[in-house]
Structure 1
Amino acid sequence: MLGQFGFINPASVSVVGGFNNAIRRNERACAIASGLQRARQMQLIFMPYNLGFHWTLVVIDMLSMTIYYLDPLRGSVRSDLKNIVQK
């Protein structure tokens, strides 16, 4: 059962302390890429994401290459998150 799920450390990808410059954004994108490289095809990858004031959850389905954005406040996907995932 443990092989069906993966986890990306939220400390390496979340907006923390207001650091939102291009260099930090590239580091966070690399953290996501390295997490996905270790993933297996059938896994669901869980990536908690802190916007600095609110937690959301990103789930990446490696089989269908679908990304789910789960926000209990029903907010839209933040541009910062879109940018680091697209990189």
Structure 2
Amino acid sequence: MYSVEGMCVGEKRVAMIPHLFGWEDHQHLDSLQLVSGRGVSIPKDTDLEFEIELQSFVDPPSKNANFFREMDSNFDNFIDPKEMER
């Protein structure tokens, strides 16, 4: 979701989701059988607006991460029980 890219912790943004990217058109329903947090039905073809607040962020592991090397603290090419506990 591009609305989150580049956000800082504590920052708030508004994400607009046009109905064309939302729910599928269900011919047998006059409105979607979904309920918002306030208990209101969301009619089909409704544009949605979400307020997003980034509360925390964790860096993903690098693509080149070598978890074995990180665990093998004595570099003996074996993982012993003490290294497993870490």
TM-score of the pair, normalised by structure 2? 0.31
**Greater share of helix:** 1
**Greater share of strand:** 1
TM-score of the pair, normalised by structure 1? 0.30
